[in-house]
Each structure stands twice: as structure tokens, then as C-alpha cells.
Structure 1
Amino acid sequence: MNVHWVHTKFMLADPLSDDPVVVTGSANFSKASTDNNDENMVVIRGNQRVGDIYLGEFFRLHSHYAFRQAVAIFLMNNPGKTPDDFKQKFLIEDGDWTADYFTPGDRSAKFARRMYFSGS
């Protein structure tokens, strides 16, 4: 069986701020879970270390599944190809891959990730 969903449940609010909010636990974000089932949910507010850990986990999961989806789209659009045929330019000799991360005045998600992971 090939599972196409992640059972992990957490919600982040302002994870890069001085006052991050992490909501996590076994409860689903549904009426049945909150009204009828024996579930738990923890709200952790203001703990930057916990916010950092959960944000890192979010990025890890996103990268993992985004890559798998990119390969699946490649295979769907290229009948007869295999995953080994999928090529993604992660390193470009002339450094062009870094341009999006270092554009002056940029305030995009890439900028936020660069600032977060640089410790700025």
C-alpha cells in the first residue's frame, strides 16, 4: 500500500517571531475529534526553540514530499522514463542557482528562509 498523506499534525503561527505558537497533538482539526473522541492537543506559545524545531520539521517534510511529487510529475509527463532519468540542477557551475536567494531588496519566502537558517 502506498500512503499519500502524512499523519503528523501540527500548526505553526509566526514561527520566526519572538512569540511563536505551536499547536500539536493527536487530535485532528475536526468537530468529531474535538467534541467526541479522546484526543489531545497542546498549545506551546513563546518558546522559540520549540518553534524552530517544528519549523525545521515542516521544511524537512515539505522538501521530502515536494521532491517525490516533482519526480511523479516528470514520470507522468515523460512516459517510458524512470526516476533515474529525472535530473534537477541543484548545483550550477556559474552560481546562477543562488541569484533568487540574494536579490537586493527581496522579501520573499526565499529571503525569509535564508535569514532564518543563517541565524540572522
Structure 2
Amino acid sequence: MAKYHVELDAVLRALADPTRRTVVERLAKSPAVVSELAAPFSMALPSLMQHLRILEDAGVVTSEKNGRVRTVSLRPGALDVLHLWLGEQRTPAERQADRLGIHLTRTTAKET
């Protein structure tokens, strides 16, 4: 369970920055070269590379260098830990909503 939380913390830290979220949103469509990822941002290329390094260290993206061109891809299943954690947080609230729905249905049925 400790590894799960370490991985979750790394993903949440990586996605805390709007620039990195924008990069992940772009990579969800298809892999891209670094220069293409840099185009929408008004920052120096080394600054974008630092963002990519944070995403890669967190296991969210992978990169491959072919000659002078670096291609970045979203790692398959990279956000599964986030999805799992969110599901665990949502479950108690959903159970309470289900119980409330059952109660309201029973109350309404008794009144009619």
C-alpha cells in the first residue's frame, strides 16, 4: 500500500501544474515531438524540458530520442493510480446517496 501512495503522490504533484496538465491533455491525443509540445507555450525550451522531466519522473510520460528528435508519449496506464484513488474516495458518498435514494423511494411508496 505504501508504493501505491508514493506513486499517487508523484502523479498528483506532476499534474498540479497547469502547463504539465496541458501537455498531458495534448499527449492523450497522440505522441508528439518536444518542439510541437513547446509551440503553445511562451517559455524557453529548457523550461518545457524541466516540465517533461517531472512528468517522466512521475511515470506519466515516456520519451524516446531518435537522432536529434525527442518524441514524448503518454505512458499507458499512467493515470490508473489516480483513477483508482478517486474511485475509492467516491465510493462512500455513492453508498450514502444509494441509501438515501432507497429511503426516499420507500417513503414515497408508503405515502401513495
TM more than 0.5: no
Q: Compare relative contact order (CA 8 Å, sep 6+) and give the higher one, 1 or 2.
A: 2
**Bigger helix share:** 2
TM-score by structure 1 length?
Answer: 0.30
* TM-score after normalising by structure 2: 0.31
Point out the structure with max Rg over C-alpha.
Answer: 2
